[in-house]
Amino acid sequence: MNRGKITDALKSGRILIADGAWGTALHSRGLKGGECPELWNVEHPDLVLEVAASYIGAGSNMIETNTFGGNRYKLEHFDLGDRTAELNKAGVEISRKAAGEENWVIASIGPTGKMTVMGDVTEEDFYNVFKEQAIALEAGGADAIVVETMSAIDEAIAAVKAAKENTNLEIISTFTYEPTVQGEYRTMMGVKPAEAATAAVNAGADIVGANCGKGYEGMKQIIEEIRNVLPDIPIIIQANAGLPELVNGESVFPASPEEMAAQNPLWIEAGVNIIGGCCGTTDKHIRAIRNAVDSRN
Ligand SMILES: [Zn+2]
């Protein structure tokens, strides 16, 4: 079966399932705090493949790649800047292997950790760094690129444009929102969901949404705010498994698979098209989400 485009598959009204966390899944397989996750794509490809395969086994229609921190700025912290293309390509090849012919690989691009407001980078610097990463992700065989966990508009837009203008892939753009004291949602840099999604679409994003952040409770409101201004754009939501609790110095995400899956009908009603998970979600969460979505059809 030819999987075609994600946006075409959504046209029938089908709800697609994305994957769960990668960071926490790699840590549970032995990745240490100070290690470069992307180096595992060449040093422990078997363990990275295990994560990818676990999500396909749980019913994901699309999986991400272990390339979230694969931009040159982040890799330079580990003296791996010169291996940017190699590590990104290797990451996509692993997910491609797990995904098979019928599932999509949505290759992850995360933030650089730098900000234009600090004066240490320009928008052009962002563009060039994301262009390098996006080209490598396409070379590895990705179907789409997901620019995720963003909070600054200029960085996110540079990444969406760089991916759109230098590859033939579908582009997904997600931001991370936190509740204000008034119960509204903003990125850390003060951006509203409707503004961020509109800017992303204007820059070329095919699918928009939210990932990570403070639990899953605000996601329904975020979907509604985006739906209000963009009635036809496909929306993806990848929430964390609840609010992290510090247990013995480690972040633990408390939401059970059932608790997460219970949100799905509300999100679908609000207009979501693709549901996955972020930090703390496992293949068990994805399985529960898969079952909740399937039982509704
Ligand atoms: Zn997360």
Helix, strand, or coil here: 265? helix
Handedness of CA 7, 149, 17, 57 (dihedral sign): positive
Using the mean position of ligand 1's atoms as its centre, give its distance from the Cα of residue 281 in Å. Answer: 9
pLDDT at 1: 59
Residue 262: the pLDDT is 95
**Measured in angstroms, how far is the CA atom of residue 2 from the centroid of ligand 1?**
31
CA of 238 to the centre of ligand 1 (A): 8
DSSP notation for 258-288: HHHHTTHHHHHHHT--EEEE-TT--HHHHHH
pLDDT for res 296:
81
Q: Ligand 1: distance of its center to the CA of 149 in Å?
A: 7
Question: How far does the centroid of ligand 1 lie from the alpha carbon of residue 130, in Å?
Answer: 20
How remote is the CA of residue 88 from the centroid of ligand 1, in Å?
A: 20
Q: Which sign, positive or negative, has the C-alpha torsion 116, 122, 127, 133?
A: negative
Ligand 1 center from residue 140 Cα (angstroms) = 24
User: Ligand 1 mean position to 146 CA, how many Å?
Assistant: 14
160, 200 contact by CB (below 8 A): yes
d(CA 213, CA 277): 11
- Rounded distance from Cα 251 to ligand 1 centre (Å): 12
Distance 1 CA to ligand 1 centre (A): 32
CA of 217 to the centre of ligand 1 (A): 14
Single out the residue of 33, 97, 36 nearest to residue 65, CA to CA.
97
**Rounded distance between C-alpha atoms, residue 196 and residue 205, angstroms:** 11
Do strands 178-179 and 185-186 pair parallel, antiparallel, or not at all (unpaired)? antiparallel
Residue 277 Cα to ligand 1 midpoint, Å, equals: 8
The CA 83 to ligand 1 mean position distance, Å, reads: 25
pLDDT score, position 297 = 56
Phi-psi region of 92 (alpha: psi -120 to 50; beta: other; left: phi over 0): alpha
- Ligand 1 geometric centre to CA of 6 (Å): 22
Centre of ligand 1 to C-alpha 230, Å, is: 24
pLDDT, one tens digit for every residue, the chain (297 residues): 579 999 999 999 999 999 999 998 999 999 998 999 999 999 999 999 999 999 999 999 999 999 999 999 999 999 999 999 999 999 999 999 999 999 999 999 999 999 988 888 999 999 999 999 999 999 999 999 999 999 999 999 999 999 999 999 999 999 999 999 998 999 988 999 999 999 999 999 999 999 999 889 899 999 999 999 999 999 999 999 998 898 888 888 999 999 999 999 999 999 999 999 999 999 999 999 999 999 985
